[in-house]
Amino acid sequence: MLDEELSRLIPSLLPRLWRFALRLTANRHDAEDLVQRACVRALERPHQLQEGTSALSWLFSIMYSIWISEIRARKVRAVNAADWQDDMLENLPDPRAGDPENDLLHQQIIAAVGALPDPQRVVMLLVGVEGLSYREAAVALDIPIGTVMSRLARARITLGELFAISRPQRLPKGVKP
């Protein structure tokens, strides 16, 4: 991809990059820094975008790599990361929501996804929220596709248990519902 093409494409990807960064970092200022650093790195190294890889997936990969490095650096510096708090997020009204029950459910889902272990949370965000394919998520995270599938399955099971989603029970033979 040419430098000019990438420069024109990045602004259209910013909302998705911002959303992923915000969920990844759970902090508005960290998310802003992360998006900026990822965009700068991408613009400095457009030649690293391999043919056949989506620019969005590549940017998610850059962003995730930068974030992992930041977490490691924070541990070395012994700085505690801020705890996830919904009040740290800017709540933008969803014009479709309007229903307090839906609002509450959305908050519960966001909290449940935020409580997942980091590897599961990141995969859930990339596949479930950002709509990446398993392969694109695997490329973005530099892990095997089977690991993506496994983490996503565990995340879904955990979320299902949290929301007490029951599976249909099989009735014994001869018993009618």
Q: Report the pLDDT averaged over residues 52-57.
A: 90
Q: Report the pLDDT averaged over residues 62-72.
A: 92
Distance CA 54, CA 171 (A): 47
Distance CA 68, CA 109 (A): 24
pLDDT of residue 111: 86
Q: How many CB atoms lie within 10 A of CB 134?
A: 16
Write out the two tokens for 164.
């007490």
User: Which domains, ranges and CATH numbers included, belong to the chain?
Assistant: 1-82 (1.10.1740.10), 99-165 (1.10.10.10)
Answer whether 0.85 is exceeded by the pTM. Answer: no
- Tens digits of residue pLDDT in 8-38: 999 999 999 999 999 999 899 999 999 999 9
